[in-house]
A and B are shown apart, each in its own frame.
Chain A
Amino acid sequence: MKKNKLVNSKVVFNHSAFAKAVLLSTILLVSCSQKIYELKKVSGNQTAVDATLESTEEIEAFIAPFKKSLDGQMNEQISYNPTSMHKNDYKLNTPIGNMMAAIVRTQGEPVYYSRTGKRLDMVLLNHGGIRSGLNAGPVTMRSAYEIMPFDNEIVIAELSGKQVHELINYLVERKSAHPIDGLQILLNKDHSINKVLINKKPIDNYKTYTVATNDYLYNGGDNMSFFKDTPMTKIDYKIRNALIDYFKKVDTLNFKRDNRFDILK
């Protein structure tokens, strides 16, 4: 690799020379009367940062110890993914979104049950919260950190039937592939609601539903206002740790798109 030296680093700055220079330039500026400059021409472009560029040695050397420590922990293989998955693979629901929702249920429900004696009715996460795709091949600790770099935790909110309707209206209105599990929304061709089921049953307006989500969404993230002031239980389980725990126990991932949220043909 070609190397390039860092020339204008503030780290190596000589402070007394700097002070002198500032003094000198101040004198220069003050001694002449201040000039005015008018804009004449502007040009704009961008340069791709890629392998055709040189690398700065000092920067690489500075990064090296951080990288070494991190790589030791991140490169461990913990599962295998046969098919690449990205959050924009399909509309309305995606293999990677379905994976996220399934893992939150699989990993989160036993903890929630042991603390409250209650089961989960459904899971709702956000499409924007899937921060990276998962390539085909080995799944590592790094994959989990890339998909979920945030430190958000799984929380369980209790929603009334009415609040669940608000949740559904939110999803239907936005038609984004927010990860869901336990909930099915089928739309007609004109995008009106054809059928909505939770655990294969119609919504009971008098029932309380347990919805696993993350603390970001519970606190109104992505404008999910239907969670506001609903009873909430923490299970002290980070989403990323749920991914890591699941990957460690499952040899090969197998997630697909299905018709949990779809438009009828």
Chain B
Amino acid sequence: MKRRKFIRNTSTGILAGTALWSNYALANGIFTGPELEMGTKKITILHTNDTHSHIEPISGGRNDGRGGVARRAALINTVREENPNTLLLDCGDIFQGTPYFNFYGGELEIKLMTMMGYDAATIGNHDFDNSIDGLFKQLPNASFDFVISNYDFSNTIMDGHIKSRKVVIKDGVRIGLFGVGIQLQGLVDPKMYKETIYNDPIETAKDQARLLREEDNCDLVICMSHLGYSYRGDKVSDLALAAATSGIDLIIGGHTHTFLDAPEIVKNAIGKDVMVNQVGCYGINLGRIDFYLKEGKIDKGVDVVYDV
């Protein structure tokens, strides 16, 4: 196994998941990395979207030989070795696209995400393809949370099994997650999503960002979206959501299978920058965002530096 140089100089025991937790304080000291100043924290976000049941590398066509879960897992491990303060997130459409889904109903996809240590996923329209009951059936295979804030599942089997937001603490940094899903009507057969109620994503995002900041005291707020990157016309998208809200640091998206050369920086409703990213589809790319945070309040007027 290849190891990064600075990892080799530390105790290898720290690499095991259990040891990593019980060596929490130790890890705090060692793993912040040599490049970081005192009092600076580094949080890494890894993300996928629209993996669409692509388990093996793609065979044939323009993406021949790309993707593959076993390789993605290795890449994730490498990043975690480099920075254990890493979150792994998915932005929906986990299901549908290869016969693995038709034959095993999403069992393999969810079990593999559990093995890779996903922290949270939001729900895409295709995750209803075996109906809401088919999604519910796979929940026991997920050790991660499904987080979505604008679908009201009160009158469905999913009631109580989905989080509208989630707070993860890494190296003392409070990271708030929420999710927004696309309008299901006209896109998914109603007999599949049943009585799931779609609420306005922008209004929901405003509420969730405020709750995560003010009630949950989060230092970072991340929106996991399956709205789509951008549209002609007034259909709500990640870029539109970014511009219409505040208090969100990062929007990672899906649905439109958008391949970007680099994340986009958008001015939000109060003129601050928000990063928007999406990484195509089928597990061809793994997105990575590194957040560097400094303890205490930064002097007013100092902008966040974006390196994309």
Residue positions of A touching B, CB distance < 8 A: 4-14, 17-18, 20-22, 24-25, 28-29, 34-51, 53-60, 62-63, 66-67, 69-70, 73-74, 86, 131-133, 135, 142, 145-146, 149-151, 215-216, 219-223
Contacts and interface: CB of A to CB of B under 8 A. Distances in A.
A145 B102 CA distance: 8
A111 B249 CA distance: 56
Given A42-B289, A145-B99, A219-B190, A48 B277 contact: no
Contact of A59 (B112, B249, B294): B112
A44 B117 contact: no
A39 B74 contact: no
B65 interface: yes
A10 B88 CA distance: 12
Nearest to B86: A8
A134 to B, nearest CB: 10
A29 B186 contact: no
Contacts of A4: 1-2, 73-74, 77-78
Instruction: In the A-B complex, list the 7 residue pairs whose CB atoms are closest, starting with the nearest.
Output: A21-B21, A44-B263, A37-B293, A55-B70, A4-B74, A56-B73, A43-B307
Interface stretch (B12-20, B151-159, B202-210): B12-20
B231 to A, nearest CB: 14
A16 B102 CA distance: 37
Interface string B73-84: 111111011000
A79 B4 CA distance: 50
Most chain A beta-carbon neighbours within 10 Å: one of B18, B70, B74, B77:
B70
Contacts of A219: 189-191
A50 B65 contact: yes
Contacts of A43: 289-290, 292, 306-308
Q: How extensive is the interface on chain B, given as a class?
A: 35 or more
Contacts of B100: 66, 70
A11 B304 CA distance: 38
B134 to A, nearest CB: 10
B17 A7 contact: yes
Nearest to A20: B22
26 contacts: A4-B73, A7-B15, A8-B17, A9-B17, A17-B18, A21-B22, A21-B24, A28-B24, A34-B217, A38-B293, A38-B296, A38-B297, A39-B292, A42-B289, A44-B275, A49-B75, A51-B57, A53-B74, A54-B71, A66-B108, A70-B99, A70-B100, A135-B60, A135-B61, A142-B99, A219-B190
B270 interface: no
Interface in B197-215: none
Contacts of B292: 39-43
